[in-house]
Amino acid sequence: MADKIKGKVWKYGDGVNTDVLYPGKYTYKNLTPEEIASHALEDLDPDFSKKAQKGDIIVAGKNFGMGSSREQAVTALKYKGVAAIIAKSFSRIYFRNAINQGIPAIQSEQASDAIENGEIIEIDFKNGKIITEKREFSFPSFPEKMVEILEAGGLVEYTKKKLGKN
C-alpha cells in the first residue's frame, strides 16, 4: 500500500450490491482477470468497465457491497485498477474481502457526501486524510492487523509471509 494515492472518482449511491458489482451468472465461470474486470459494475454502470483507469477511486453511499460473499465483487474492481473505495458504510463481508485483496476500504460519511463524480482526489493513508480541491476529511487509521494485510498486498501475501513461504 502506497502512503498516498491520487485518482479520479466514480461516484455511486447507497446499497451498491454484489449482484451489480459482479453478476451471479459469472461467478462459477472460470474467467481471466481481464474478463472479470470487464463485468465490473455492469448492471449498474456499463460505462465503468469501459472507461475506468488504473488508480481510479470509487466513492459511494451506505452499505457498499451488500449481499453475497463472492470475492469477484472486489477483484473485478481490483483488476480494473481501482485504488481505493470510500463509502458511508460497507457491508461486513465486502469490507473484509476488500482488505484481504489489498484494496483500502475507507469509511467517511462526510467525504462521501461532498465528493463529486469525476473529481480528482488524494488519499493520504499515513495521516488518515482525504484531500479534495476544496476540503480535507479525516478518517481513523486502520487496526494493526488490517495494516499488516494491506501492507503485504492482501491476505494471500500475508499468509505466505506468515507461513514463511516468501
Residues found near another protein in the complex (CB under 8 A) = 15, 17-20, 23-25, 27-30, 43, 62-63, 66-71, 74, 89-93, 96-97, 100-101, 143-145, 154-156, 158-160, 162-163, 165
Q: Which residue in this structure is represented by grid cell 474481502?
A: 97
Q: Which residue in this structure is represented by grid cell 493513508?
A: 125
Sequence-distant (6+) residues with CB within 8 A of 96 are none
Q: How far is the CB of 105 from another protein (least distance, A)?
A: 13
Which C-beta is closer to another protein: that of 103 or that of 121? Answer: 103
Q: How far is the CB of 94 from another protein (least distance, A)?
A: 9
CA 164 – CA 166 distance, rounded (Å)? 6
Q: What is the DSSP letter of 29?
A: S
Which C-beta is closer to another protein: that of 120 or that of 156? Answer: 156
Q: How far is the CB of 129 from another protein (least distance, A)?
A: 24
CA 16 – CA 133 distance, rounded (Å)? 26
